[in-house]
């Protein structure tokens, strides 16, 4: 079964509103969680790396004030898209690295499809 | 130059064929390598890790060439169910962790 969950699985919101996406590791502790987005017919693009208890590291070109990441516990990270605009419509996926599994174990969430109207 | 590069394809191959994908990476300090499979509109799923000595899992064989900075995936006896996009993933863990995906190679196995 799934070991990483995301909520919601899809969301439609109006331009200018904020949307929060949750990523949970279900039966393991995740020291590091990664957030990606994927536009249609394009590759996954890493947005940020989130370590529990510390500030996220954002990739170049990703606005940290627009995409707020909170990794408050070893099983939960949240991504908040603030003041969403239609160009933010995308497929957002998180992944979690197992604390006990070494660097080779990374599991992905099922993704959240965001549509901003 | 992109950090991780793959031929986007598509590779259209008949059932039973052998097909190989390559992936090159630019950061020589990269530490771990993986092949993931992504079906349309689904999350990527780990296919196999890539070890320095090369490794095999059934019909799938992965190779790593650190000197030339590329990894490869060989699929033998292709099945229709192998049709998907194959993503090369490179993990760098020096100081901070960074996971970089290739753009993916699309494989279509034809009856």
Give the pLDDT confidence score for residue A53 in this predicted structure.
77
Asked if A114 contacts A28 with a C-beta cutoff of 8 angstroms, the reply is no
**Beta carbons of A45 and B101 less than 8 Å apart:** yes
Give the pLDDT confidence score for residue A69 in this predicted structure.
93
> CA-CA distances (angstroms) from residue A10 to A89, A110, B68, B88?
11, 10, 42, 27
| Helix-, strand-, coil-residue percentages of chain A, each rounded to 5 | 5, 55, 40
Q: For chain B, give me the number of helices (H) and strands (E)?
A: 0, 11
Interface residues on B facing A, Cβ-Cβ cutoff 8 A: 31-32, 34, 41-46, 49, 87, 91, 93, 96-104
| Residue closest to A76 by CA, chosen among A10, A6, A19, A14 | A6
Give the pLDDT confidence score for residue A44 in this predicted structure.
81
**Beta carbons of B96 and A106 less than 8 Å apart:** no
**How confident is the model over A73-97, as pLDDT tens digits?**
889 999 999 999 999 999 999 998 8
**How confident is the model over B71-101, as pLDDT tens digits?**
999 999 999 999 999 999 888 766 566 778 8
pLDDT tens, chain B, 111 aa long: 678 999 888 999 999 999 999 999 998 777 788 999 999 878 888 899 898 888 999 999 999 999 999 999 999 999 999 999 999 988 876 656 677 888 899 999 999
Give the pLDDT confidence score for residue A52 in this predicted structure.
79
Nearest CA in chain A to B43: A110
Best probe of the A interface among B30, B39, B44, by most A CBs < 10 A, is B44
């Amino acid at each position: 079964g799934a070991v990483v969950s995301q909520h919601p699985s899809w969301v439609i919101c109006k331009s200018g509103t904020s949307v929060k996406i949750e990523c949970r590791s279900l039966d393991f502790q995740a020291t590091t969680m990664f957030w990606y987005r994927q536009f249609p017919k394009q590759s996954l693009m890493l947005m940020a790396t989130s370590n529990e208890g510390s500030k996220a590291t954002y990739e170049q070109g990703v606005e940290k004030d627009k995409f707020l990441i909170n990794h408050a516990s070893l099983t939960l990270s949240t991504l908040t898209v603030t003041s969403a605009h239609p160009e933010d419509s995308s497929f957002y996926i998180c992944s979690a690295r197992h604390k006990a599994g070494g660097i080779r174990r990374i599991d992905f969430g099922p993704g959240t499809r965001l549509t901003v109207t | 130059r992109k950090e991780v590069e793959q031929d986007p394809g598509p590779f259209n191959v008949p059932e039973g064929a052998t097909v190989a994908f390559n992936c090159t990476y630019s950061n020589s300090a990269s530490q771990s390598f993986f092949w993931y499979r992504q079906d349309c509109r689904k999350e990527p799923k780990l296919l196999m890790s890539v070890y320095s000595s090369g490794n095999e899992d059934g019909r799938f064989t992965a190779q790593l060439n650190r000197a030339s900075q590329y990894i490869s995936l060989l699929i033998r006896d292709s099945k229709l169910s192998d049709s998907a996009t194959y993503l090369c993933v490179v993990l760098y863990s020096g100081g901070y962790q960074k996971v970089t995906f290739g753009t993916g190679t699309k494989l279509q196995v034809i009856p």
